[in-house]
Chain A
Amino acid sequence: MGELVRKYRVVVLGAGGVGKSALTVRFAQGRFVSDYNPTIEEEYACDVQAEGETCLLEIMDTAGAEQFTALNEVYIKRARGFVLVFSLTQESTLQDVDNIRQQIQMIKAQEGQSIPIVVVGTKMDLAREREVTRDTIKDLAARWGLPFYETSAKNNWHVTDVFHDLLGQMRRRYPDEPLKKRKEKTKSRNRIDRCIIM
């Protein structure tokens, strides 16, 4: 338990029902949640290997953007990295991503350029319901200067890529993040899950 690790706090944000929890749980626990329960707030802790070093990712899964807008600011201030999620089957959810992206830039402005962000399109397996085209994604990726991933939590497509990309960005952006002792949190409202991703 006395082991020292570099800890990175990540927050997953996006509109309601786009699949933030499905993405997070697929990564953190390797399973697909098919139930339809909206999230209030859940936290997951994962060991992730990066360049031979074990890092601890603390991933905060949040309620859809509309519900608790007042909390977004708190989440953003606390986090190092951001997973902004939209649904490939609902184009309007890209608008929420854009708004959150701008909110992050405003709040993190004093931290300078290059905030670690990954934009994630979900439900890639629902090809027939798809609304967001490749061209739209290419265009936005260029305009925003952010990496985009198309994923399916159900089929486990490109889910780990998302978090590895983000961890890489965070390690480059905050190379001097101090080594900290692991500690077991006991916040009762949160479920802390432990997992190891290689």
Chain B
Amino acid sequence: MIRDDVDVPPIMVKCCEAIEKYGLLSQGIYRIGGMMRKVQELKEKLDRGNLVFDPGSDRFAQVTFVDLDSVNLDAEEWSSDVSNVTSVLKLWLRELPDPLISYSLQPSFMEATRNENDRMRHIRLHERVNELPDPNYATLKYFMGHLHKVTQHEEQNSMSIVNIAIVFGPTLFGQGQMGMNGNNMLDASLQNKAVETILKHYTDIFVEEPEQS
């Protein structure tokens, strides 16, 4: 598929690779946050002169990769406690100007998620995922593949699909429309349900090609 060729942001690949190498078995991976000071330090290192946004586009996948290799996540400093890396990645996702699941498509994602019928919810969300812009699609596909691996080690890391979905609902949908009246909890539940459904059907939504024999 052509859309798979679109580059996934290198910072995400770098973090996910380190997390898969050192963190798949840590209990509460992605739920347990890192040390704020270390997270900030790593974020600055990864940010500093390494990523340049294309001023002509607000798309995060248009970033120009300069030299992310200057940060070594294999170093004991980061590999010994991978929660700093997971926190940086979550922070990076939260700070995207437009969330990975773009604001403009969120109403249709929410509507799809409201389906009580599991099969219909799955199908409708599959369609919504296909409607994402190419960079978002490629990035979501990559990231869901990563989270899929994480949940396959649930027995060791305690992070089931439901648990991962609770952690990533607000991260993938953003907190932009969080009001001051605090009545967005219903939205939050829906966001979690959407992530849960997509993750549960990861293989069907992103991997299997029905028309191939």
Contacts and interface: CB of A to CB of B under 8 A. Distances in A.
Interface residues of B, number: 29
B192 to A, nearest CB: 7
How many chain A residues sit at the interface, stated as a range, is 20 to 34
B36 A95 contact: yes
B33 A66 contact: yes
* Interface residues of chain A: helix, strand, loop or mixed (majority): loop
Interface stretch (A67-75, A101-109, A138-146, A170-178): A67-75
A15 B33 contact: yes
Given A40-B189, A41-B185, A189-B185, A70 B33 contact: no
A68 B170 contact: yes
Interface in B158-213: 158-159, 162-163, 166-167, 170-171, 175, 178, 180-182, 184-186, 188-189, 192
A36 B185 contact: no
A46 to B, nearest CB: 21
Interface string A86-123: 00001010011001000000000000000000000000
A81 interface: no
Contact of B31 (A38, A68, A69): A38
A136 interface: no
B185 A40 contact: yes
A66 B178 contact: no
A74 to B, nearest CB: 4
Interface of B: 28, 31-37, 87, 90, 158-159, 162-163, 166-167, 170-171, 175, 178, 180-182, 184-186, 188-189, 192
Interface of A: 15-17, 36-38, 40-41, 63-71, 73-75, 78, 90, 92, 95-96, 99, 189
